Structure 1
Amino acid sequence: MSEPLYSEHPAMFKNNPIGFIVSLLLIPVFGVGLLILLWWYLQCKGSLLTVKEHDILYEQGLLSKNRAEFSISGIRTVRVNQSFFNRIFGVGTIQIFTAGDQPEIEAKGMPDPNRVRELIKARQNGGAR
Structure 2
Amino acid sequence: MTQNSEYDWLSLDEEEQVLWSGEPLMKSIYPALAIGIPLSVVGIGIPIVVGAYLNIKNTDFVVTTQGLYKKTGVLSRSVQKIGFDKVQNISFSQGFFGTQFGYGNIEVSTAGGSGVEMRFRSIEEPKQVQELINKHIKKDKEGGSDSVNRNDILMEILKELQETRKSVERMEKKI
The equivalent residue for 1:80 is 92
TM-score by length of 2: 0.60
1:10 aligns with 2:24: yes
Paired residue secondary structure (1:85): helix
The equivalent residue for 1:125 is 138
Q: Is the 8 A contact 1:12 1:40 kept in 2?
A: no
Letter in 2 for 1:10: P
Paired residue secondary structure (1:126): helix
For structure 2, the 5+ residue unaligned runs are 2-15, 146-175
The equivalent residue for 1:91 is 103
Paired residue secondary structure (1:37): helix
The equivalent residue for 1:47 is 59
RCO higher in 1 or 2 (8 Å CA, sep ≥ 6)?
Answer: 1
- Relative distance call for 1:31 and 1:94 in structure 2 (3 A) is same
Give the count of matched residue pairs.
127
1:111 aligns with 2:124: yes
Shift of 1:67: 1.6
Paired residue secondary structure (2:26): coil
Paired residue secondary structure (1:58): strand
CA distance in 2, matches of 1:103, 1:8: 19
Shift of 1:77: 0.8
The equivalent residue for 2:80 is 68
Shift of 1:109: 1.8
Letter in 1 for 2:129: V
Of 101-110 and 44-53, the range deviating more from structure 2: 101-110
RMSD of aligned alpha carbons: 2.6
TM-score by length of 1: 0.77
Shift of 1:3: 4.3
Paired residue secondary structure (1:51): strand
What is the aligned-residue identity percentage? Answer: 26
- Relative distance call for 1:57 and 1:12 in structure 2 (3 A) is same
Q: Is the 8 A contact 2:32 2:52 kept in 1?
A: no
